[in-house]
């Protein structure tokens, strides 16, 4: 499992499953929200200048080189697209 530390003691983790990647937002090891997506779609998302992925409680919004993470329409953190892409490359 790969992880990115976010603001406010939050963590974005990537769990590799047989056919998908499970993205998990947690705070001090308590899962807040998670979402499953294919690695292919995550790479498509990170390689576009402006994109929005997922509907529902967890959403990722990419503008240029920044990815904003939202839970229930509230911005909780922002990370660089390069950091996100580096983690995806480790999951290949």
SS3 54: coil
* Cα distances (angstroms) measured from residue 62 to each of 31, 37, 54: 23, 16, 12
Alpha-carbon gap, residue 24 to 14, rounded angstroms: 6
Q: Is pLDDT at 31 greater than 90 in this prediction?
A: yes
Alpha-carbon gap, residue 11 to 13, rounded angstroms: 6
Percent of the chain with pLDDT over 70: 100
Q: What is the mean pLDDT of the chain?
A: 93
pLDDT digits (tens, 9 = 90+) for 41-70: 999 999 988 888 788 899 999 988 999 999
Pairing between β-strand 30-37 and β-strand 21-27 as defined by DSSP bridges? antiparallel
């Amino acid at each position: 499992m790969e992880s990115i530390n976010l603001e406010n003691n939050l963590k974005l983790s990537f769990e590799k499953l047989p056919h998908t990647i499970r993205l998990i937002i947690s705070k001090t090891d308590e899962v807040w929200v998670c979402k499953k997506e294919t690695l292919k779609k995550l790479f498509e998302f990170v390689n576009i200048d402006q994109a929005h992925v997922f509907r529902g409680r967890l959403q990722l919004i990419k503008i240029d080189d920044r990815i904003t993470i939202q839970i229930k329409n509230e911005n909780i953190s922002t990370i660089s697209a390069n950091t996100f892409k580096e983690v995806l490359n480790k999951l290949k």
